[in-house]
């Protein structure tokens, strides 16, 4: 789910970034929850040694 959220937020799927609101509607989650998931995913990418799940996120 983190990977999909990052793809939508940064436009890696269609080249057009989506807002927190749009991504939230897609996943039936609030904007705040999307923001939290995005922040956690970005943290994993910044500190890959602390979480082996970062490799999964990079498989975009």
Instruction: Give tens-digit pLDDT for 43-54.
Output: 998 887 765 555
Q: Helix, strand, coil proportions of the chain in percent (round to 5)?
A: 65, 0, 35
CATH code of domain 2-58: 1.10.10.10
Residue 46 near residue 14 (C-beta atoms within 8 A): no
Q: Domain boundaries in the chain?
A: 2-58
pLDDT in tens, 4-53: 999 999 999 888 999 999 999 999 999 999 999 999 999 998 887 765 55
As a whole number of angstroms, the distance between CA 5 and CA 42 comes to: 11
Question: Is this model's pTM higher than 0.85 or not?
Answer: no
């Amino acid at each position: 789910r983190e990977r999909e959220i990052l793809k939508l937020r940064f436009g890696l799927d269609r080249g057009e970034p989506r807002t927190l609101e749009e991504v939230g509607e897609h996943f039936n989650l609030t904007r705040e929850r999307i923001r939290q998931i995005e922040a956690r995913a970005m943290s994993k990418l910044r500190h890959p040694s602390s979480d082996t799940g970062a490799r999964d996120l990079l498989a975009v």
